[in-house]
Structure 1
Amino acid sequence: MTFFRILIAVLMIATQATAGPVRIKDLVNFDGVRGNDLVGYGLVVGLNGTGDGLRNSPFTEDIMSNILERLGVNVTGEQFRPKNVAAVLVTATLPPFSRTGSQIDVTVSAIGDASSLLGGTLIMTPLNAADGEIYAVAQGTIIAGGAVAEGDGAEVTQGVPTSGVIPSGARIEREVDFDLDSLGDMRLALREADFTTAARIERAINAEFGRSVALMLDGGTIRLDVSATRARSVAHALGRIENIEVEPELPARVIVDQRSGTIVMGEDVRISRVAVSQGNLTLRIAERPVAVQPNPFAEGETVVLPRTEAEIEEEPGIGLAEVPEGTSLSQVIAGLNALGIAPRDMIDILKSIKAAGALHAEFIVR
């Protein structure tokens, strides 16, 4: 059995098991409790000749001049062309409830023609949020995500050396103004909207507190009456709610990856009664022209005569097989695996069953 068929079998067995209970914190997002995106524009120094070409990236020269002037170095009118600096964009996410002095990770990406950020150091860069305020300052040594090796006639690149990260590279200087304890009502947003799952979460929360504190508004939203929980604070109420276990309702879904031949399916996928036949047809055509020349000392010219060889070869298929109504997709896949069907042929069969309207599930091809 090939690696792909082993992978398909493992995924099929995993999805046949009934979904177990999941904590509410893994199913929903609490309204207002979220991160904030930060972005900044900075300069990386200390590169080993892999920085921006200042002729092609004039903005790098501008920011370098500004930094040097702030440090008391006058470079007005000077012509300098260093190759060890690069202009970058710095991005980060400010986690909820972050406090001043905490540190967060940052991602650094080149925006000029630098070939690598390996070994570079990011100079102090302010990070702004959508409101234009500075919430953090980043600085540190970059850990690049790739490597470059080059010689006189060839160059090899592995990964993406023009992007890297700085673990704990930014320090929070400003906190987000959000008073959690002032909330009287809060909404719980399901990450995968589903009416059945939302109803189960509503029942589980009300059962936990012994009264009606949660109300399902739609398939993706549940309203929580925080005051009705009678908890000491909103944080106490959410800490009690987020660990309640609920069994989510999984949608019937089939996901296939054509490049790797991977097939992932849910246990509720069903197939109506349908007949399936599969076979491979191979057509081979070869051109072998023949040159015909006139006899010696005879009048005439050389002529090329076409010679074509065509051959059609049909490999044995699975024949016409009937799939009974109500059969699960996992049973169909197991049968196709037993017949030795290749993963890519299996994907084509699933596409055809879906096109025939017999596959009752969301079919996603990547």
Structure 2
Amino acid sequence: MRNRVFGRILWILSASLLALAALHAPAAQAERLKDLASWQGVRGNQLIGYGLIVGLDGTGDQTSQAPFTGQSLQSMLGQMGIQLPQGTNLQLKNVAAVMVTAQLPAFSQPGQQIDVTVSSLGNAKSLRGGTLLLTPLKGADGEVYAVAQGNVIVGGAGASANGSRVQINHLSAGRVPGGATVERAVPTPLLSGEFMQLELNQSDFSTARTVAERINQVFGEGTATALDGRVLRVKAPREPNARIGFLADLEGLDITRGTPAAKVIINARTGSVVMNQSVTLGPAAVAHGNLSVTITTTPLVSQPSAFSNGQTVQAERSDIAIRQDPGQLNLVGPAAKLEDVVKALNALGATAQDLIIILQAMKAAGALKAELEVI
């Protein structure tokens, strides 16, 4: 009887511990497969071209400093049958040479309109009010995939008078919405072959295994196979209509994956620090102090005595003061949640730049339980 009661107590304690662990375990995240991966070969392509913008209000290139603008204009006029006298030096201020770029989306077909971006190549002051002339856009293989032309929209303004100038935003770049027409389609291997490659956005063996198991659970065993931590091979129907429907259903699958790897991203140029919810801190002691140097300059004037034939001399006196605040030893951690990590680091009173140094030191000391990436 005593053994039975003792066993029941042990069972209750075990169940309580398991429930407590479940409460403190990180919550799983359910995401759509289309947010976690993409299909191999289904991507956009970059296009680039060189063109001319005309119709500017005296804000174009100074052809004496940007000779390629005048050469391009002469070449364009020659193609239209207009021959300029030899040695003609064009001094136009309403023309600007630009680089034209665009993104050709996947499955684009001839006749589709896409947006283009124009950026000044010379010394034009503003592209506002200009018109982009017919510009072929080429891909990495040198073939023309689109042709651009249209009015340029610049999201800025500026004015100058009597030596004063005011400018809002950037005037040397703009966009032409729907300014390019697709002339050639890019072939895609989406509907060819029995198998397709599904590529995860981030390499993770556990996520690859979870995705493969989920696909096989819904569409049958053997449908998906994880080749490595990033690529999965998926068996798809051969008939085009059935394959498109299969891919649509596949992208809508909810994938429940574990907590992502702990990572802290630091931008050393801007001082930005971003961390995900998996970051934790171990117990650590941090001393943080500031060293400030203050330089004060006071103007001095030396006035000579009357009838001394001396000259008034102006000088400066500089006072330099160095102050170092005492660095207090602060106890940080252990912290199990992101909000606890933020509170612990904010308690140090550090700026963003100081926080970068503190995090790097804590990582070296083994107190920061995360991958530190500096960009």
Task: Give the TM-score normalised by the residue count of structure 1.
Answer: 0.79
- Residues 181-209 of structure 1: per-residue CA shift (max 9 Å, x gap): 22321111112111111111111211221
Moved more, 168-177 or 266-275: 266-275
Instruction: Label 1:361 to 1:211 Cα distance change in 2 as closer, same or farther (>3 A).
Output: same
Task: Tell me, in whole angstroms, the C-alpha distance in 2 between the residues paired with 1:109 and 1:276.
Answer: 48
Q: Structure 1 residue aligned with 2:154, among 122, 144, 161?
A: 144
Task: Report the secondary structure of 1:218's partner residue.
Answer: coil
Q: 4+ residue runs of structure 1 moved beyond 6 angstroms?
A: 285-288, 307-312
Superposed CA RMSD in Å reads: 3.2
Task: Report the secondary structure of 1:353's partner residue.
Answer: helix
Instruction: Label 1:181 to 1:347 Cα distance change in 2 as closer, same or farther (>3 A).
Output: closer
Instruction: Label 1:345 to 1:82 Cα distance change in 2 as closer, same or farther (>3 A).
Output: closer
Moved more, 174-183 or 137-146: 174-183
Amino acid at match of 1:357: G
Q: Is it true that 1:226 corresponds to 2:240 in the alignment? A: no
Task: Tell me, in whole angstroms, the C-alpha distance in 1 between the residues paired with 2:94 and 2:41.
Answer: 43
Matching residue of 1:90: 100
Give the Å deviation of 1:315: 4.1
Matching residue of 1:335: 344
Q: Please list every run of 5 or more consecutive structure 1 residues that lacks an aligned counterpart in the other structure.
A: 1-15, 291-306
Q: Structure 2 residue aligned with 1:24, among 9, 33, 37?
A: 33
Give the Å deviation of 1:90: 0.8
Task: Report the secondary structure of 2:264's partner residue.
Answer: strand
Contact 2:264 2:373 in 1 (8 A): yes
Amino acid at match of 2:255: V
Task: Report the secondary structure of 1:99's partner residue.
Answer: coil
Q: Is it true that 1:39 corresponds to 2:48 in the alignment? A: yes
Matches within 5 A, 1:235-250: 235-248=244-257, 249-250=259-260
Give the Å deviation of 1:258: 5.9
Instruction: Label 1:64 to 1:335 Cα distance change in 2 as closer, same or farther (>3 A).
Output: same
Q: Is it true that 1:63 corresponds to 2:62 in the alignment? A: no
Contact 2:293 2:321 in 1 (8 A): yes
Task: Report the secondary structure of 1:161's partner residue.
Answer: coil
Contact 1:145 1:164 in 2 (8 A): yes
Q: Structure 2 residue aligned with 1:107, among 90, 108, 117?
A: 117
Instruction: Label 1:101 to 1:322 Cα distance change in 2 as closer, same or farther (>3 A).
Output: closer
Amino acid at match of 1:123: L
Moved more, 100-109 or 310-319: 310-319
Instruction: Label 1:17 to 1:345 Cα distance change in 2 as closer, same or farther (>3 A).
Output: farther
Q: Is it true that 1:168 corresponds to 2:178 in the alignment? A: yes
Task: Tell me, in whole angstroms, the C-alpha distance in 1 between the residues paired with 2:374 and 2:66.
Answer: 41
Instruction: Label 1:29 to 1:76 Cα distance change in 2 as closer, same or farther (>3 A).
Output: farther
Matching residue of 1:206: 216
Task: Tell me, in whole angstroms, the C-alpha distance in 1 between the residues paired with 2:97 and 2:321.
Answer: 60
Contact 1:271 1:329 in 2 (8 A): no
Matches within 5 A, 1:249-268: 249-257=259-267, 262-268=272-278
Give the Å deviation of 1:260: 6.1
Give the Å deviation of 1:53: 1.6
Instruction: Label 1:318 to 1:141 Cα distance change in 2 as closer, same or farther (>3 A).
Output: same
% same residue? 43
Q: Is it true that 1:49 corresponds to 2:58 in the alignment? A: yes
Q: Please list every run of 5 or more consecutive structure 2 residues that lacks an aligned counterpart in the other structure.
A: 1-24, 301-316
Task: Report the secondary structure of 2:29's partner residue.
Answer: coil
Contact 2:285 2:329 in 1 (8 A): no
Moved more, 313-322 or 151-160: 313-322
Matching residue of 2:314: none
Task: Tell me, in whole angstroms, the C-alpha distance in 2 between the residues paired with 1:269 and 1:187.
Answer: 32
Q: Structure 1 residue aligned with 2:359, among 333, 350, 355?
A: 350
Task: Report the secondary structure of 1:247's partner residue.
Answer: strand
Amino acid at match of 1:93: Q
Task: Tell me, in whole angstroms, the C-alpha distance in 1 between the residues paired with 2:332 and 2:42.
Answer: 52
Matching residue of 1:10: none
The number of aligned residues is: 334
Task: Give the TM-score normalised by the residue count of structure 2.
Answer: 0.78
Task: Report the secondary structure of 2:245's partner residue.
Answer: helix
Instruction: Label 1:54 to 1:175 Cα distance change in 2 as closer, same or farther (>3 A).
Output: same
Q: Structure 2 residue aligned with 1:185, among 177, 195, 209?
A: 195
Give the Å deviation of 1:132: 2.0
Give the Å deviation of 1:161: 1.3
Task: Report the secondary structure of 2:129's partner residue.
Answer: coil
Task: Report the secondary structure of 1:233's partner residue.
Answer: helix
Give the Å deviation of 1:30: 0.6
Matching residue of 1:121: 131
Give the Å deviation of 1:126: 1.1
Task: Tell me, in whole angstroms, the C-alpha distance in 1 between the residues paired with 2:66 and 2:254.
Answer: 54
Give the Å deviation of 1:102: 0.7
Matching residue of 1:7: none
Instruction: Label 1:63 to 1:202 Cα distance change in 2 as closer, same or farther (>3 A).
Output: same
Matching residue of 2:4: none
Task: Report the secondary structure of 1:211's partner residue.
Answer: coil
- Residues 46-68 of structure 1: per-residue CA shift (max 9 Å, x gap): 01111112222222222212322
Amino acid at match of 1:271: L
Give the Å deviation of 1:308: 10
